[in-house]
Amino acid sequence: MIQVGIFTGYFPYTLEETAQKIREIGFNTVQLDVNFKDIDLATDKITSDKCKKIRDTFRCYNLPISCISGYTNLVHPTPEKRRANLAHLKQLIVLLMNWVHRM
């Protein structure tokens, strides 16, 4: 069976609504964007519990997370912004990799 997925960032809803709508449309995997109306996932707000909630919600709808989006500008001309962008990406990688290993 061919896996057909979609980017969750196209769905400006809560976590549950996003998973439900994606499944209703007929997709069977997702590219995860960590932006949902009901969860604060700013760099310093990402926690293992929030990651588990996201994983479990998509799992409940039988929507495997095939990849995680970490879009950011790593060559921003302002050094402070570049460092902040890199810190956010590193935080995503560390927390989400820990979360994946516990699946």
At 34 the pLDDT is 84
At 103 the pLDDT is 54
At 79 the pLDDT is 96
> How far, in Å, CA of 46 to CA of 27, rounded?
26
At 48 the pLDDT is 81
20 or 71: which carries more pLDDT confidence? Answer: 20
Q: How confident is the model at residue 21 (pLDDT cuts 50, 70, 90)?
A: very high
At 90 the pLDDT is 87
**Mean of pLDDT values over 15-34:** 95
Average predicted confidence (pLDDT) for the chain: 88
Residues 6+ apart with CB under 8 A from 27: 4, 5, 6, 63
